[in-house]
Amino acid sequence: MFKNFDELRKRVVQSLVEAGVIKRRIVAEALLRVPREEFVPEAYRDSAYVDSPIPIGYGQTTSALHMVAWMCEAAELKPGDKVLEVGGGCGYMAAVYAEIVAPRDCEVKGHVYTIEIIEGLAKRAEENLRRLGYHDRVTVIRGDGSLGYSNAAPYDAIIVTAASPGVPRPLKEQLKVGGRLVIPVGTPYYFQQLTLVRRTGENEYEEVELGGCVFVPLRGKYGWNRD
Ligand code: SAM
C-alpha cells in the first residue's frame, strides 16, 4: 500500500511538539527534513514514523523518535556546534543533528562525528549518509566510542545512544568548557537515567538526571562488554 511518508513525518513531529518533547523550531525542522524511511531496513520502511525503536540488524535498534528529539533538546544543539555521537547505528540520528548544527541555508557550519563499534553498521551508516547527501556534514568512524574520538575533540556536545555503567572519563574530558554530554546511565537489563553532564570549568562538571529511558548496552572499554 502507498504510504505518504511526508504526511506521516509531519504528523509525528506535530504530536511531539504538542506533547512538549520538541521545544524549539530548529529541532522540529530537522526532524521534518530527514527521511527516516530511507535509513531503516526495507522490512520496517512502512513503520518508519511509528514512534518506537526499529531493529537495524546485529541486535541493535535505531531509537524512537521522541528519544531522538529529547536528546537533541537536552544537548541544546544549535547551528555551528561540533557534535560527537557514540553509537552511530544506521546514521539517522546523525543526519538529524546535522540538520540542526549545519543546516543548508545557514552560513554557520558545525559538524557531526558519529562513531560505531559494529563494522557492518558503520558501513551502512556511511552508505546511508552519503546516499542522502550528508557526507559533507557527518563523518562516520568505526571504533570504540566509549573512549570518545580525540582526533576531533573538544566538542560542544556529545550524545551517547547506548546504556553506560557510568559517565566515561574520556567523554567528559573531550567536552569544551560549556559543552554538554547526554548519556543513558544504568543497567542495560532495566531502565537507565538519561543524564546531562555540563562542563562548567576546566575541572568542573554539573550532572543532572533528566528521566528514565531504555537503551541497548554500551560496549567497549568504558561499557558493559569490555571488548
Ligand atoms: N544513533 C543510532 C541511529 O541513529 O540509528 C542508534 C544507536 S543504537 C540505539 C546504539 C548503537 O550503539 C548500536 O549501533 C551499537 O552497536 C552502538 N555501540 C555500542 N557500544 C558502542 C561503543 N563502545 N562505541 C560505538 N558504538 C557503540
Calculate mean pLDDT across residues 9-13: 98
- For atom 11 of ligand 1, which residue has the closest CA? 87
Q: Report how far residue 57's alpha carbon sits from residue 99's, in angstroms, rounded to the nearest whole number.
A: 25
CA 26, 90, 63: angle at the middle one, nearest 5?
A: 60
Which residue blocks in 119-227 are alpha helix, DSSP H?
119-131, 169-173
For the chain, which domains are there? 67-213 (3.40.50.150)
Calculate mean pLDDT across residues 188-195: 89
User: Given a cut of 70, is residue 226 above it in pLDDT?
Assistant: no
Calculate mean pLDDT across residues 33-54: 97
**Cell 511531539 identifies what position?**
16
Which residue among 44, 77, 115, 118 is best mutated to probe the pocket of ligand 1, counting the most ligand atoms within 8 A of its Cβ? Answer: 118
Tell me what pLDDT residue 190 has: 79
The grid coordinates of residue 34 equal 530527514
With beta carbons less than 8 A apart as the criterion, state whether 149 and 204 touch. no
With beta carbons less than 8 A apart as the criterion, state whether 86 and 58 touch. no
| 136 CB-near residues (< 8 Å, 6+ apart) | none
Tell me what pLDDT residue 106 has: 85
Ligand 1 centroid to 12 CA: how many Å?
24
pLDDT digits (tens, 9 = 90+) for 27-43: 999 999 999 999 999 99
Lowest mean pLDDT among 96-100, 162-166, 185-189, 219-223: 185-189
Which ligand 1 atom lies nearest to the CA of residue 90? 5
- For atom 17 of ligand 1, which residue has the closest CA? 87
Beta strands 111-116 and 54-57, pairing class: unpaired
Q: Tell me the catalytic residues.
A: 63
Beta strands 192-201 and 175-185, pairing class: antiparallel
Residues contacting ligand 1 via CB (< 6 Å): 56, 60-63, 86-90, 92-93, 115-118, 121, 144-146, 161-162, 215-216, 218-220, 223
Tell me what pLDDT residue 93 has: 98
- For atom 27 of ligand 1, which residue has the closest CA? 87
Please count the CA atoms within 13 angstroms of the CA of 64 that sit on its side-chain side.
12
Mean pLDDT of the chain: 96
